């Protein structure tokens, strides 16, 4: 494929034929798979490219709030996801002596927003999403080396020598996105890349995560609870906080966060990466094995007990970067999820925002005319960014506050004190604000929103699927 330079172009019915834009999605994470599952409901051709040779069941738990319930219902996935999840109505913040400091209550979510808050293991959610994307649409073992784009299309080149062509390229390939790197190189050459986007990702924490094998209630009494027991424990004399979640699978998902200073940041810099991988985890497991956890009843277990019950290949250590990039698109390329905004997991909003990106972007792509021009694609990408960026920035700020709240710093103590003594009406307002953005897919039947608080205005919900054009070519 020869990529022509980007020029202004208009439709010419004498030479154009009706065609839906083909979408190349790089990255089979939650954002990429969600976009694929949505496009599967259209007549838009798409392919997903994943650098890993196979999906690995890594990671801990994902907390999903009412903000992602509407479009899951539209896709027909909601009831199946609930069947594999546990409802979470509270988060308990505890000290190293296992004593309760205070409790955050999420139980009003159903009345306010029409859906509750649930916890599901990340690997389980991946498996469910994979069922909604036909296997022939996903190409594993395709590491992207370079991308090219122009007026007549986009092309990706893979490390195995294969090449693929399309009309739109979506970078959903994580914090160290190869698609973003290639796009930013193009923008830098023409002096259109903001200086802040050229700076490296910053990180101040390292996370160790895993999911145990199944427990029985005699071993871990909280497993028997109908609701998810979500515990967050703060280290008092050490730079750590750690969380445990009980699941519908009778397992315990867990995560340990280490807060870095200048010295420990240097020590961990060698492990900087964007993948949930098992490498470099053993040493951190040894460091945290004696941390006390809450198991319920008279059981006094430690992180070591959870680590012993977790298959070693399912334990991973990962850097936790934080950044919202300013530039999300150029020409035929657009970014979503961690590729354009990396949030602290403390706020539990990273996965939801990647999925919201997918919903909004799918709405805009589906509304493109047949055989769209560069100008039309750019306009769609701009509308996507205008809708999503304010919400992402708000989620980024909230996640940082949650990170501070669960940290061992003086500011963390101040935030916890303020949170503990907030009047109930202020806590309710904060809950409402966090659940206002409940987007839906524009081209599927609307999901009934039974919440007493109406969702925020969603511009892309007005996007309309184009009617197929009848094209008459000159003889």
Residue 212 CA to residue 199 CA, distance in Å, equals 38
- Write the DSSP symbol of residue 122: H
Given a cut of 60, whether residue 273 has pLDDT beyond it is: no
User: Which pLDDT value is given to residue 325?
Assistant: 96
User: Which pLDDT value is given to residue 475?
Assistant: 42
User: Which pLDDT value is given to residue 15?
Assistant: 37
230-247 average pLDDT score:
88
User: Which pLDDT value is given to residue 239?
Assistant: 84
Among 109-113, 139-143, 312-316, the range with the most confident prediction by mean pLDDT is: 139-143
User: Which pLDDT value is given to residue 88?
Assistant: 93
| Long-range CB contacts for residues 37-40, cutoff 8 Å, separation at least 24 | 37/75, 37/77, 37/129, 37/132, 37/133, 38/71, 38/75, 38/358, 38/359, 38/362, 38/441, 39/362, 39/365, 39/366, 40/132, 40/133, 40/134, 40/137
User: Which pLDDT value is given to residue 334?
Assistant: 98
**Residue 152 burial (CB < 10 Å; 0-12/13-18/19+)?**
middle
Question: Of 87-96, 211-220, 341-350, 444-453, which gets the smallest average pLDDT?
Answer: 341-350
**In sequence order, what are the beta bridge partners of 277?**
317
Q: Give the closest residue to 294 by CA, choosing from 40, 72, 90, 2.
A: 90
Compute the C-alpha angle 303/308/311, nearest 5°.
Answer: 120
Phi, psi of 253 (to 5 degrees): -85, 140
User: Which pLDDT value is given to residue 404?
Assistant: 66
The CATH class of the 23-86+121-200+323-441 domain is alpha beta
- Integer CA distances (angstroms), 15 to 11, 18, 58, 85, 166, in order: 9, 10, 49, 52, 19
User: Which pLDDT value is given to residue 422?
Assistant: 67
Given a cut of 70, whether residue 370 has pLDDT beyond it is: yes
- 13-65 confidence digits (pLDDT tens): 333 445 899 999 999 999 999 999 999 999 999 999 999 888 776 778 888 88
Percentage of the chain exceeding pLDDT 70: 84
* Contact residues for 66 (Cβ-Cβ < 8 A; gap 6+): 109, 110, 112, 113, 114, 115, 116, 117, 435, 438, 451
Q: Give the closest residue to 148 by CA, choosing from 420, 376, 349, 331.
A: 331
Given a cut of 50, whether residue 331 has pLDDT beyond it is: yes
Map out the domains of the chain as residue ranges.
Answer: 23-86+121-200+323-441, 202-320
User: Which pLDDT value is given to residue 252?
Assistant: 96
160-164 average pLDDT score:
94
Task: Give me the chain's average pLDDT, please.
Answer: 86
Question: Of 56-65, 309-318, 332-341, which gets the smallest average pLDDT?
Answer: 56-65
Residue 24 CA to residue 3 CA, distance in Å, equals 16
Question: Of 4-18, 92-106, 213-227, 285-299, which gets the smallest average pLDDT?
Answer: 4-18
- 414-435 confidence digits (pLDDT tens): 766 666 666 776 666 766 777 7
User: Which pLDDT value is given to residue 190?
Assistant: 95
User: Which pLDDT value is given to residue 76?
Assistant: 94
Residue 11 CA to residue 19 CA, distance in Å, equals 12
Grade residue 210 by pLDDT with cuts at 50, 70 and 90.
very high
Q: Give the closest residue to 242 by CA, choosing from 192, 197, 292.
A: 292
User: Which pLDDT value is given to residue 420?
Assistant: 67
User: Which pLDDT value is given to residue 471?
Assistant: 45
Given a cut of 90, whether residue 191 has pLDDT beyond it is: yes
Question: Of 25-34, 79-88, 368-377, 447-456, which gets the smallest average pLDDT?
Answer: 447-456
Using CA atoms of 258, 264, 269, 275 in order, give the dihedral in degrees to the nearest 10.
-10
- 97-140 confidence digits (pLDDT tens): 899 988 888 787 788 888 889 999 988 999 999 999 999 999 99
**Residue 389 burial (CB < 10 Å; 0-12/13-18/19+)?**
middle
Q: Residues in the chain, how many?
A: 475
| Long-range CB contacts for residues 264-268, cutoff 8 Å, separation at least 24 | 264/239, 265/203, 265/204, 268/206, 268/319
Given a cut of 60, whether residue 274 has pLDDT beyond it is: no
Residue 33 CA to residue 191 CA, distance in Å, equals 33
């Amino acid at each position: 494929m020869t990529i022509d330079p980007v020029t202004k172009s208009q439709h010419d019915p004498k030479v154009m034929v009706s065609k839906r834009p083909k979408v190349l999605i790089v990255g089979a994470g939650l954002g990429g798979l969600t976009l694929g599952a949505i496009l599967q409901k259209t007549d838009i051709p798409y392919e997903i490219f994943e650098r890993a040779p196979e999906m690995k069941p890594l990671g801990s738990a994902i907390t999903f709030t009412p903000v992602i319930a509407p479009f899951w219902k539209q896709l027909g996935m909601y009831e199946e996801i609930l069947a594999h999840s546990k409802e979470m109505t509270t988060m308990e913040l505890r000290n190293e002596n296992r004593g309760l400091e205070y409790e955050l209550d999420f139980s009003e979510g159903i009345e306010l927003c029409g859906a509750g808050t649930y916890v599901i293991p990340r690997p389980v959610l991946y498996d469910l999403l994979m069922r909604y994307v036909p296997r022939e649409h996903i190409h594993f073992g395709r590491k992207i080396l370079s991308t090219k784009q122009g007026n007549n299309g986009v092309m990706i080149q893979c490390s195995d020598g294969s090449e693929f062509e399309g009309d739109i390229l979506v970078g959903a390939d994580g914090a160290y996105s190869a698609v973003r790197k290639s796009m930013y190189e193009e923008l830098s050459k023409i002096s259109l890349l903001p200086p802040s986007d050229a700076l490296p990702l910053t990180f101040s924490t390292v996370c160790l995560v895993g999911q145990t094998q199944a427990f029985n209630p005699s071993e871990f009494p909280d497993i028997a609870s109908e609701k998810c027991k979500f515990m967050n424990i703060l280290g008092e004399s050490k730079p750590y906080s750690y969380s445990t979640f009980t699941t519908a699978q009778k397992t315990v998902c867990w995560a340990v966060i280490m807060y870095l200073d200048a010295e420990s940041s240097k020590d961990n810099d060698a492990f900087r990466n964007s993948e949930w991988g098992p490498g470099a985890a053993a040493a951190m497991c040894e460091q945290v094995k004696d941390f006390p956890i809450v198991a319920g009843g008279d059981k006094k277990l430690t992180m070591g007990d959870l680590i012993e019950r977790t298959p070693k290949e399912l334990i991973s250590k990962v850097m936790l970067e934080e950044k919202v990039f300013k530039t999300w698109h150029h020409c035929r390329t657009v970014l979503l999820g961690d590729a354009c905004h990396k949030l602290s997991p403390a706020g539990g909003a990273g996965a939801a925002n990647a999925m919201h990106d997918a919903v909004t972007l799918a709405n805009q792509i589906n509304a493109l005319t047949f055989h769209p021009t560069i100008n039309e694609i750019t306009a769609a990408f701009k509308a996507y960014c205008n809708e999503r960026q304010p919400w992402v920035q708000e989620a980024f700020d909230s996640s940082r506050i949650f990170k501070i709240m669960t940290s061992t710093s003086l500011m963390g103590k101040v935030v916890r004190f303020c949170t503990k003594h907030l009047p109930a009406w202020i806590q309710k307002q904060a809950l409402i604000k966090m659940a206002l953005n409940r987007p839906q897919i524009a081209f599927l039947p609307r999901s009934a929103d039974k919440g007493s608080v109406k969702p925020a205005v969603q511009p892309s919900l007005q996007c309309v699927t184009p009617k197929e054009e009848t094209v008459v070519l000159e003889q």
